[in-house]
Amino acid sequence: MKFWTVIMCLICFVFAKAQETKISYDFGLLRQNDRITMNRDKVKGFYPGFKQMQLGEKTSLSFGGSYRFQTETFINEQFSSEEDQNDIWFLNRFQLYSHLKVSDIFELFTELNSSLITSKANLAPVDRDELSFNQLFARYHFNDHWNVLIGRQNIRLGSGRLVDVREGPNVRLSFDMAQLEFQDEKTKVTGFYAVPVQLEGGVFDNDVLNFDKILAALYWTQNWSASNNTDIYLLYKEEKNKTWDSGTADDNRLSIGLRHFGSWKKFTYNNEFVYQTGSFGNQNIRAWTASFNIEHPFRLLGENAAIGLKTEGISGDASNTDSTLNTFDGLYPRGAYFGRVARFGPSNLIDIHPYINTQLGNFSLSLDYVAFWRFSKRDGVYSPPLRLEYPSINGEHFIGNQIGTITGLEVNAFFNLELETNLIIPSNFLVNSGLDDTLFHTVITAEFKF
């Protein structure tokens, strides 16, 4: 009870001071990208001074953080009413950061994380991390265009389809990495060598620089015009003892990708193609994916809204007895790839995904439908972490139908609420695998940033 009293007092205090000082707060998904605008001659009070302190004419030190509370519930989590049901569990995530900037030349960013969970029996690695450094990096700017970064970082490449922050689960994805970056008004080129942090769940006990997995990247973003942009990239991943439906072996693969995004007339689009080559044990890798997303705005109740369609083809293995593996590896995708229900991931999949989003004042509403098929009847179905969740034990294509809703309320710049619901109706593949009960899922999120 005392804890919640403190949280609510903080929310009320920060909101009151923000209104009083009229400071502009733009909190980023990655908190090193926070944008705070204030006139220091007019701003007074504890919070503005704490948020951004001037240590000299060209040196500043800022602090911030967040608290996210979630309550999540499933019914028939594995499409079976016969299994034990974990009715409801509670997730808490605390993050606190400091950001030192020296003369636009050097910056040091530190972010602590504590992700806790209660009432869940079978924990996943992404559910709990009692205390750790989520991010800890130093960046040196050679000039206005070139910088180098060394340390631990959350990263999102492009739209986050292959490498993302993993914001949906309780614990974010961190990489220990060395990175070189070039950027001007229209061009950004990033190259890095990274090792994903392996979670252990305790206090400062995560497995550091475990080279069982590595990721190297060269990623070029070009803004050709205000409405025409491309990403061209090479991503090389190594993973020891990877399990696909065809077996377990070392997986070494190169992803060659092209993303084209922008707008045309009133339409916005985001299309991406990736081809993968490499080796899986003694097999050659030949895999691919194509993703298309188009969206058009319209007016609903006098407010902005959009209707869109996403569709993907993601290759699966054509045969588990030949010398070629065709299963696409989604690398490090967001944990909530098709919503926080997170049943299916980006391997061996075809999906059609129409949706509607709208904004009504401080409320946001979205409704979507997804139909899932297996790309190959000889390959299984994988979860978002790309673990084999449902092996190929029958010859059916159609996996099921998913209906989802998200209702959000942005109370102010600091505090927001969200309710997400999902329903998945199993179809031929799951039913013939003995999983024939409809899955129900709900998650309530309250997040406070400062």
Nearest to 329 by CA among 294, 391, 279: 279
Amino acid in the structure at residue 296: H
pLDDT at 115 over 60: yes
Residue 104: CA atoms inside 13 Å, Cβ hemisphere, count?
Answer: 6
Q: What is the CATH number of the domain that holds 340?
A: 2.40.160.100
CA dist., res. 367 & res. 379, Å (int): 30
pLDDT, tens digit, 9 for 90 and up, residues 294-329: 999 998 776 789 999 999 999 999 998 899 999 999
pLDDT at 24 over 90: no
- Domain of 161 in residue numbering reads as 2-449
Domain count, the chain: 1
Amino acid in the structure at residue 55: L
Give 319-339 as a DSSP string. Answer: -SSSSEE------B--S-BTB
Nearest to 197 by CA among 149, 234, 238, 154: 154
Nearest to 130 by CA among 71, 174, 170, 173: 170
Q: With the C-alpha atoms ordered 10, 12, 13, 19, is the resulting torsion angle positive or negative?
A: positive
pLDDT, tens digit, 9 for 90 and up, residues 82-101: 766 557 999 999 999 999 99
- Give residue 5's pLDDT: 46
pLDDT at 66 over 50: yes
**Residue with tokens 């001007």, as numbered in its chain:** 184
For range 150-156, the mean pLDDT: 97
CA dist., res. 38 & res. 60, Å (int): 14
- Give residue 7's pLDDT: 56
Predicted model pTM: 0.90
Burial class of residue 277, CB neighbours in 10 A (0-12, 13-18, 19+): middle
Token output for 200: 């252990």
Residues of 322-351 as b/e, b for ≥16 C-beta within 10 angstroms? eeebbbbbbbbbbbbbbbbbbbbbbbbbbb
